[in-house]
Chains A and B, each alone.
Chain A
Amino acid sequence: GAGVSQSPSNKVTEKGKDVELRCDPISGHTALYWYRQSLGQGLEFLIYFQGNSAPDKSGLPSDRFSAERTGGSVSTLTIQRTQQEDSAVYLCASSLGGGAGPYNEQFFGPGTRLTVL
């Protein structure tokens, strides 16, 4: 079956512009995660959705970052007024979620490489 897809695969933008990154999770997966992977760094947890709800937004780096999920499926990560330090690979993952919580393995998308000039 189809895996997690993300678009665009690459995004180059100018400092100060807004960008939207999209994630399509695996069908039936209720949990969805966003991470950021900077060069030479590990994965930085950004936000988690269970259905359309995000119970913990504390991982978002600043108020320029926001995310939403509609219909329990597609999610969009928006970065406003991008800065050069936002340059990274943004990864999305989905899992079965629900009551099983952190027991479930995550399936990762290929990522969106964001470059802010």
Chain B
Amino acid sequence: AQSVAQPEDQVNVAEGNPLTVKCTYSVSGNPYLFWYVQYPNRGLQFLLKYITGDNLVKGSYGFEAEFNKSQTSFHLKKPSALVSDSALYFCAVGYNFNKFYFGSGTKLNVKP
């Protein structure tokens, strides 16, 4: 069965420190991987995606993610966190017939 796991419900980081939000996936065939962010009282917004090519993908707001096929992971990273990055982050995998599986979300708290 296809699935996405975000093992951390919450990640706390100090402003200026690097951040990582973890995601692992299970899918038959080639995975199409996405990260979305949901700010308070706002809709989900696309951050970045991996389809093929370079394992390191760069996206909006200085975020990047690394696709690791052997570990079936697609962790979201940022070298220096901002307080404004505090939000709910969702990892997703695209599958057959345009079906998408989303993780349960990770709440990122960046403290000044």
How many chain A residues sit at the interface, stated as a range, is: 20 to 34
Are A35 and B102 interface neighbours, CB within 8 A? yes
Across the interface, B43 reaches (CB within 8 A) one of A45, A97, A110, namely A110
Closest Cβ–Cβ distance, residue B61 to chain A (whole Å)? 15
How many chain B residues touch A (CB < 8 A): the figure is 24
Contacts of B34 in A (CB 8 A): 105
A106 CB within 8 Å of chain B? yes
Determine the main DSSP class of B at the interface with A: strand
Tell me the residues in window 32-91 of chain A with beta carbons closer than 8 Å to chain B beta carbons. 33, 35, 41-45, 48, 50, 55-56, 59, 91
A33-B100, A106-B36, A107-B46 known; 7 new pairs, CB 8 Å cut-off, are A3-B43, A48-B97, A56-B98, A91-B43, A91-B44, A102-B100, A105-B49
Q: Hey, which bits of chain A sit against chain B, CB under 8 A?
A: 3-4, 31, 33, 35, 41-45, 48, 50, 55-56, 59, 91, 93, 97, 101-103, 105-111
Q: Hey, which bits of chain B sit against chain A, CB under 8 A?
A: 6, 32, 34, 36, 42-46, 49, 51, 90, 92, 94-95, 97-105
